[in-house]
Structure 1
Amino acid sequence: MKGKRIVVGVSGGIAVFKVAGLVSQLAQRGADVRVIMTRSATQFVTPLTFQTLSRNAVAVDTFDEKDPAVVSHIDLADHADLFVLAPATANLLGKLANGIGDDMLSTTLLATQAPILIAPAMNVHMYENPIVQENMAKLARLGCRFIEPGSGQLACGYVGRGRMEEPEQILEAVEEMLAPTPLLAGRRVLVTAGPTRESLDPVRYLSNRSSGKMGYAIAEAFARAGADTLLVSGPTSLVCPPSVRRVEVWTAQEMYQMVMQEMERTDIIIKAAAVADYRPVRVSESKIKKNSETFTVEMERTPDIAWEVGRNKGSRFLVGFAAETDQVEEHARAKLSKKNMDLVVANDVSKPGAGFDGDTNIVTVWDADGEVLRLPQMAKTEVARRLVALIGERLHGRD
């Protein structure tokens, strides 16, 4: 981080006070920190605070040009190694997503070619508003990285998601983005994600509650770590992460065939999908009518993808997931051994904050020797980042 020019964009939310600590820590690590504040942000903290912590003048007004040799917002945009937006309000996200430049911060953002790290902060209902979600999805597709907000008591009195992540977590992301060599550069990764669907007739299918969010977060984290990442996805409504190649499948058989086809070209395989264990023996060509009080479906086993990969993995690094409701450690470690995995990631889906379709997870990771990592409730994106870091460390140790 020493000598890196980091521009911190501060917009008008109560979380501004947290950013003072972030700026201070960045400066202490040797970064050249430049702060741009919106007018609204100055209603919470004065520019003098950030000037003192960063040891640089703070930009607020687009037309306050102190150096006639340069145009301030273009100079900041051109020389930034990284932009950090914290807190990022709904207003700022909307401007950035739609190309609006009407103040010092938004015009500088439009002009920069530097990577952008965004830490949103707002009321829970604002955060969940479909327009705000659409803006964030658009920015993610364009390559911006997000540090998802946490859940808890908000300044407005509501309890929910919208609280800006702590400076320490943002700092970790900054260090990762400024790393000279991506942790997993040159590695080829295959991630399976989401549910599978097993047809019963042209109208109905059997499936499960998986949303694919954990697998998609893992695929994105691998891509950010420099890996060539392939995502084999069951049916979901999720947007494919930037720099990730996605192949969409429907059934367990289709996922099995794709994994087997791609396995030879892969260094790391992450089995995060919730694959159906059984499928109907017979699939009706027409809709099954309601003709009796009971209805029996005969089922047969689907291919065990993880077992097949483990049996033939060679030098590949295999990570599996175990979604359990009881005896989590016992079931997870049995799966690790039976399927010849290097790591197994387990969660108790009956616990609040660790179930299907949520944005958070609570996981424990085991290897053949025992527990290696235990993570409390946190955003799935952060769980994914920690898992990728652990896998990277294991691979470098193996090398």
Structure 2
Amino acid sequence: MKKKRMLLPAVAAAAALVLAGCASGDDAPGGDVDAPGGLQIDVPDVPMLESLGEGEGQVNIVAWSGFVEPAWSDKFTEETGCVVNRRVAGTSDEMVTLMRTGDYDLVSASGDASLRLIAGGDVAPINTELIPNFGDDIVEGMKGQIYDTINGKSYGIPIGRGANILQYNTEVVTETPTSWDVVWEADSPYAGKITAYDAPIYIADAAVYLMAHQPELGITNPYALDETQLAAAVDLLKQQNAIVSEYWGDPAAQITSFVGGTTVVGTSWEVLRKLSGEDKLKGVLPEEGSTGWSDAWMISSQSQNPNCAYLWMDYTSSPEVNGAIAMNFGMAPANAAFCELSDEAAAHCEEFNATDEEYFKNVWFWTTPIEQCVDGRKDVTCTNFQQWTQAWLTVKG
């Protein structure tokens, strides 16, 4: 992602999440656990750091490419004495596996990994009072979300967010698409030239489309699918499979496919369109809305360097450093104060809709599917990530 992460199909390490409790009934994408009746689930009781001590001299981080760079990590080391040891991960599954070794203090987790880590007791709740930069300037849309805030406890310090947009080649798709129907319907005029995202979490994209076009299914949250709803999503995905030219997980390959004309329309990230350098490629957030991703720092429950880890989370939450990460990575920053630092910062924030909550109200951020229905239903059991992983294999054939 710049977006440099290589998100490939999750075919392993997909442990079932068996969680109990009451889920949020909030209609907004992501939900709000601070609201009355917010998400409450049974998770391991992991202690939270109560106060900061002296730095341990190092911090070990699993991160997406572009999140931990010398341009800001060297200065952090100078200021704190904490040497930064980085391990770049290519998938959320890899991040979960690495964090479970206990060898790493921090991870830059996306929503398709967060609940797995929380439910597994692999990460600890975060004492935000020890992170001064986690304050009023953090955009509201990245606080208190169900993918990293459980039982009123925060498990993640926001880094940035983005939408999964519909990208198209204006030389072939001459009218701006207003719907995702051009990539889902069997009679799409672009059949054989369509690209789709290659991961089980893409099932949620099908669910978003079904929410708008088959309301009788009763889907109100694309990450809360009962068996009937999951089956409908899989049927739609199999229908799409017949018209897809290729699935992508490697951003560089996706760019090459669009630039070379192998594909002309499909799921993308705004930064990939920008990196292509092609004016002919445009992007849009269709009328049905979309899925998206929101990344956050999470601290290991086995961290050997918790003080340095907290110092890093605070340091990277400052407007300057958070903005540098966002610009390097290609996303909306979590700290809105960055947008006021310069004309360049303001332009970046405008391009990535950093403070436009109306835009992000139409985005359903990746959330690990769990057996407890996060849409508030208590009379059914929803399908979990393991079931989604198995379903995705049937789609790909």
TM-score > 0.5 by shorter chain: no
Q: Tell me the TM-score normalised to structure 2 length.
A: 0.23
Which structure would you say has the larger RCO, counting Cα contacts within 8 Å and 6 or more residues apart? 2
> Which structure has greater strand proportion?
1
Q: Tell me the TM-score normalised to structure 1 length.
A: 0.22
Larger Rg: 1
